[in-house]
Amino acid sequence: MAIALAASAAFPAGAAARQPVGTSSDLLTYVQARTAEMEGDGAKSARLYASILKSDPGNVMLARRAMAIALQAGDTPLALSLAKRIPTEQLGFDGRTLLAVDLLKARKYADALAMLKKAPTSTETDLLAPLVEAWADTMAGNGDGVARMAALPADSMLKPVATLQRAHMLIALGKRNEAVAAAKAAVVGKPAGFTRQRIELAAGLQRLGEREAALSILAGDDGPLVRARQAIEAGKALPTALDTPAKAMGELLMSLASDLARGEADQELSLALARIAAYADPDNNSATILSALFLDGGGVTDGALNTLRSIPPNDLFAGDALDLEARILSRNGRDAEALQRVEALANAADAPVVDITRLADVLGELDRHAEAAKVYGRAIDAATAEGAQSSLWSLYLLRASSLEEVDRWADAKADLKQALALEPENPILLNFLGYGKLERGEDLDAAEAMIRKASAMRPDDASITDSLGWALYKRGNLPEAIDTLRRAAAGDPAQSDIHEHLGDALFKAGRRIEARFSWTAALVTAPDKVKDRLQSKLDNGLNPANAAP
């Protein structure tokens, strides 16, 4: 769906007339606020802007900017107080949405609905307002809201989330049989990234007393799903049921923020919506993690880290928060800090598999692959002891990858065979083992057969298509190899290995100008250790010394 929105605007170039320059004190505070804003300290900047409003209370432009910065920085009380002093028609989408959620939390459903229905954007009138109206019906104890969700036209902006919201409404109404059926329908065919929504549905079913149905919704190896299942099995209530209009709005806002971030929309607005979602449902820390992702994407590293560290260690999504924190720290050269954060958990007595695996992942990102392999071994032992058979194959795969990085192919191959014994039809494993054999000239018939099987399972996977093209090249079938490698390059234009393979195949087929184009494309994204080899090809052509393995 097309969405055209804007957060509360920053100062336009010609807005000096309304800037707080009435006193020297205000001017100094304004400069300090702008400096804090440019340095990424949104919380300080918002407080300074807000302080100027004491002497210039009618400056709507300043109030809007202070509100937007406060909201993005996570100071929701300040943002809310500022939004309430601005005329509704002069607020941006972020401010109006914040006020709507505040009204919903206060159970003033009619007021929230009235504000949304007269808003200037179709997102408010056609997406948010119908959701609030349906949930208001639900809170009144009637099924009109459920009926509204079922009767939405195909072009409704709310249609993509109607099945999920309808399931939550049925749960809130206590209609057990219908709720179970609707919850199961809502997760059918959904990708792995549907973890948050699964947990929210399971929490609602658990409150209805539908324990087994809740557990079935939580099937999977994702960390939060595992922890949610463990909580239910231990008799603990999941805290994330969507049982109010505010929480339902929070879920919708998280989806909207993610959709906006994937496009070319205002990234500040994505962050603002994630912050409002966290305010709508403080128990659901997936919104907090989403906020940290947007902060990190905007270069506000410390803000992202502080946001992640606000999540309590016993939260269902605490592991995800720590994973993201470690990645941010490592990417910013703070390797020792990243290791310190994950080692404490991994080295604790009876550490669960997920904590041990996280340490191995971080070691791998730091190119400490021999150490990573050892820690993956610990994770394999822990998974075996826990009876977590479903995760064993992936742990063998991860250890094999680390072992290959330190040229221990025989050990890596043994792990891959162990993994295939557990998952014989797994295309990732088939491709990894087949390609490893191919690179080393081992049992080429078997290697090609494995890769062909993997490709048949995943014909649109560019990496597997590349493996197939390289197998054809190694077997001397140049025309088919080139066609296959071209298809792989089109599927993943940023993968340097594919472009290098295509260049080698083109050069060998006598198409040397095209080969140079492919090698040049490979050079753009190639890791440093490969760049010399590619440059040698560009300078001297293909020879046995610089051929791709």
Tokens of residue 58, six digits: 């009618």
For residue 10, the model assigns a pLDDT of 39
pTM (whole model) above 0.85:
no
The pLDDT score that the predictor gives to residue 3 is 46
CA distance 199 to 502: 44
Can you give the pLDDT at residue 56? 78
Encoded tokens for 252:
């919708």
Do 24 and 44 form a contact (C-beta atoms < 8 A)?
no
Euclidean distance between CA atoms 494 and 492, whole angstroms? 6
- The pLDDT value recorded for residue 283 is 87
pLDDT at site 116: 95
pLDDT attached to residue 266: 66
Right CATH for 333-424 from 2.60.120.1440, 2.30.30.790, 3.40.50.720, 1.25.40.10: 1.25.40.10
List b or e across 291-308, with b for residues whose CB sees 16 or more CB atoms inside 10 angstroms: bbbbbbebebbebbbebb
Per-residue pLDDT tens listing for the chain (549 residues): 344 455 554 333 333 334 444 555 677 777 787 777 777 777 787 788 788 878 777 888 888 888 888 999 899 999 999 999 999 889 999 999 999 999 999 999 999 999 999 999 999 999 999 999 999 999 999 899 999 999 999 999 999 999 999 999 999 999 999 999 999 999 988 776 789 999 999 999 999 999 999 999 998 777 788 889 989 999 999 988 999 999 999 999 999 998 888 765 568 899 999 999 999 999 889 999 999 999 998 888 989 999 999 999 889 998 889 989 988 998 888 988 889 888 888 888 778 888 899 899 989 988 899 999 999 999 999 888 877 777 799 999 999 999 999 999 999 999 999 999 999 999 999 999 999 999 898 988 999 999 999 999 999 999 999 999 999 999 899 999 999 999 999 999 989 999 999 999 999 999 999 999 999 999 999 988 899 999 999 999 999 999 998
Cα–Cα distance measured from residue 29 to residue 225, given in angstroms and rounded to the nearest whole number: 48
Residue for token digits 């496009």?
263
Q: How are the residues of the chain apportioned to helix, strand and coil, as percentages rounded to the nearest 5?
A: 70, 0, 30
C-alpha torsion sign, points 204, 123, 259, 163: positive
Cβ atoms of residues 11 and 20 within 8 Å:
no
Sign of torsion, CA 37 40 46 47?
negative
Please state, in angstroms and rounded to a whole number, the distance separating the CA atoms of residues 277 and 162: 18
Q: What is the pLDDT of residue 19?
A: 47
Decide: helix, strand or coil at residue 546.
coil
Class of 427-549 per CATH? Answer: mainly alpha
* Residue 252 dihedral angles phi and psi, to the nearest 5°: -65, -40
d(CA 439, CA 404): 12
The sign one gets for the Cα dihedral 194, 199, 202, 208 is: negative
Q: How is residue 193 annotated by DSSP? A: G
Per-residue confidence (pLDDT) for residue 18, from 0 to 100: 45
Three-state DSSP class for residue 47: helix
Give dist(CA 156, CA 154) in Å, integer: 6
Contacts of 324 by beta carbon, 8 Å cutoff, 6+ apart: 289, 292, 293, 296, 304, 308
